[in-house]
Amino acid sequence: MNFELNEDQLAYQKLARDFAAKSLAPFAAEWDANSVFPVEVLREGGQLGFCGLYSPESCGGLGLSRLDSALVFEELAAADPSTAAFFTIHNMATWMLCTWGQSALTTEVGPKLTSGECLASYCLTEPDAGSDAANLKTAAKRDGDDYILNGSKAFISGAGSTDWLVVMARTGAPGAKGITAFAVPADAPGIRYGKKEDKMGWNSQPTRAIFFDQVRIPATYRLGEEGEGFRIAMKGLDGGRINIATCSVGAAQGALNAAQRYLGERKQFGKALAAFQALQFRLADMATELVASRQMIRLAASKLDAAAPDASVYCAMAKRFATDAGFNICNDALQLHGGYGYLRDYPLERLLRDARVHQILEGTNEIMRVIIARRLLEPDATDHIR
């Protein structure tokens, strides 16, 4: 088992780090304070391949592994977790369209998404179907060569500012087997957007509800077969959990970097804070938790890339551990800054606010525990988790 990055991975990492330093870090606080969705910067990232990292090359994507993609997302999140998280959401929706879309759709739309010319939102959650996603009510009924879409979605990142929506809707009986995936133009007649939600964090990306009223979708915009939508959604969520865990590690790395600088610069009682052993120990624990989180994510990503049968449970474990640890590291870094950490002049309070939602989305950490526990309680479970 080789823990060292190869030359290509180091190049992806450096490209993302340089982009984050130039195009994200100087503006992240302003975007957060003024709720600016930096569309042009997202498109700039698209020109570097960041909008189609693991989408197939046939659609203009880079076709990278999930492990390679995680290296990019971590560097972006160290500067701006909110904008980095939208990159991950767009990548997931783009990958779904490019992987399961019909030929005409992928030829027309795929390259526009992978290049960042167009942006996409992922629409699974509903007002009454969050953790219980298989219970969604949004429905699509066949009407000749089209489907008619009715219903609503909640907490949709980018809603109202993106060009395409990947929507999970019910085409059959209750439960997971009755769900189908669709690509929907975001400006299709009958679509209405709710108010922009006023959030604790993630302020560089808008979040809105979406309402569908007799929205007509060509059957050629269906992704996969009827009834395959929930399987597609769950495949997306495995990768999404790695992505959002990676954003937590990135935020934690940014916070740790800030704490290291501050402890070296700030003096109390006639000496630098870095000279106090209690603070050294706090910093050491933060770094240890960070490295442990990063390695868990890379293990889970490797299993997902290898299509391992236990990939889902490892993705759940990585998401649970890294998002909890990432938030705690940001919180500890803020504490090390004392009163200054509470001020918006420093990045800590923004990193903390942006990292908090990672414990909720892509499946709450309570749901991650359910997934892990179910696998542990299966017959011969001792052979599964080692």
Nearest residue to 256 (alpha-carbon basis) of 317, 326, 164: 326
Catalytic residue among 75, 126, 289, 362: 362
Those residues whose C-beta lies under 8 Å from the C-beta of residue 206, and which sit 6 or more positions away, are 35, 37, 157, 158, 159, 160, 161, 196, 197
Give the CA-trace dihedral at 222, 228, 152, 99, to 10 degrees.
Answer: -50
Cα–Cα distance, 244 to 361 (Å, whole number): 8
Q: What is the b/e burial string over 129-168, where b = at least 16 CB atoms within 10 angstroms of the residue's CB?
A: bbeebbebebbbeeeeebbbbbbbbbbbbbbbbbbbbbbb
List the alpha helices (DSSP H) in the chain.
7-19, 28-34, 39-47, 66-79, 81-100, 103-114, 229-265, 277-305, 311-336, 348-356, 365-376
Q: Among this protein's residues, is 349 annotated catalytic?
A: no
Contact 333, 258 (CB under 8 A): yes
Residues 6+ apart with CB under 8 A from 237: 362, 363
What are phi and psi for residue 233, nearest 5 degrees?
-60, -45
Query: What does the alpha-carbon distance between residue 281 and residue 134 come to, in Å, rounded to a whole number?
Result: 45
Tokens of 27: 């503006």
- C-alpha triplet 224, 225, 226: angle, nearest 5°: 130
Nearest Cα to 19, choosing from 116, 137, 138, 120?
Answer: 116
Strand duo 164-170 + 120-123: pairing: parallel
Residues taking part in catalysis: 362
